[in-house]
Amino acid sequence: MFNFKYTYRATLTAFAGVTLAALTSVSAFAQSTILVVDTAKVYNDSSVGQHVTRQLKTMAETTGTQLKAKADPLQSRGKTIEVAVDGKSQQQVLADAALKSQILTYQKDTQALQQEMAIAQRELQMTEGKARQLVNAKIKSIIDQIAKERNADVVLERQLVIYGEPADITTTVLARLNSQMTTVPVTRERLPRG
């Protein structure tokens, strides 16, 4: 037979245990030392972050110049083909073997250039990622050091804090990063080309 009184007490006891555990962990969390840091600001405002940005900008400009040198003649060829095709039907274009060959070569070269542009963009992203890894590792070690110095239990990203005023260590992290690291190797990554 179902015993409502016994089931109610068991449920109430279990709920009280869960509630007590939750309150204990909330209380422990409230007594924790919490620090916050804006790592994006640290990276962007740091000497090393600005160094990486400058190096990537130079690489992007060089790559853009190289790609433009290939794109300009291709664009001229495209205009020449447009003039040659103007006023002709599709059948007339297909019947003209030389024009058809020019169009096919132009399409192939255009696709090759688009692929080269995509590869160059991916290489720059990989280059930035590798440089950022080095900087982020240094930022993490600085944050770890500050957390130990201040006996912090938790360090959060500044953007994650919705309410409260935990100690913000962004300025301290930035100052230490600037004193410990001003440059990193920013070496152009290369993908295999087919």
* d(C-alpha 105, C-alpha 102), whole Å: 5
pTM of the model: 0.76
Q: Which helix (H) or strand (E) holds 157?
A: strand 154-157
Overall domain count for the chain = 1
* Per-residue model confidence (pLDDT) at position 193: 77
CA distances from 31 to 3, 28, 35, 102, 150 (A): 42, 5, 13, 75, 14
Q: Which residues are registered as beta bridge partners of 37?
A: 157
Order the strands of the 167-168 sheet from edge to edge: 154-157, 34-37, 167-168
Predicted confidence (pLDDT) at residue 2 exceeds the cutoff of 50: no
Domain assignment present for 73: yes
193, with CB counted inside 10 A (0-12, 13-18, 19+), is exposed
* Per-residue model confidence (pLDDT) at position 12: 46
**Domain range for 143:** 33-180
Domain assignment present for 192: no
Q: Which residues are registered as beta bridge partners of 50?
A: none
Predicted confidence (pLDDT) at residue 21 exceeds the cutoff of 90: no
